[in-house]
Chains A and B, each alone.
Chain A
């Protein structure tokens, strides 16, 4: 399969709570990128973490990368209703992105 796996597939939380999404991939990578997608729209780039990095922060986002386990996690702190979207990880391997199956996040106001 071209795709990696993400879990959970769907996540429903209350506004203000933290949301954690996990991603696994199959090949060696140059970097891993996280994107969000609102329904029926294109993808918005959130953060890129290189293969030699273990953790990266950007605002309310925190990404970790474990290349030995071929996995990454995205943490959104203090979630807002506007964070409701689908989140995808893209593993950059051989100069192309292979996307995970995505996590649908619902943040209830």
Chain B
């Protein structure tokens, strides 16, 4: 499969649960991103990875824990979340960080609901 793939597409979890979101890209890109998309807010950049190394943590609470084992895979581990963390979590990739062309390729997102 080509492009950026995210699983699961939908996730419902309680505040005490631990779950993970997965992102995989088959584009040969070096940079991967997690964005949060909430209603009535801009897309919020959460984390940036370049060649598996985290280059940006945009003041994200520690209950969100990213993991990038290689340039093709990115995880977002979730634990003790709050209802206000309910949102669409988008993964994206680009050839390089900042994207010399500014083009990010997005996945379809994982819709998270925290009860």
Answer whether A and B are interacting partners. Answer: no
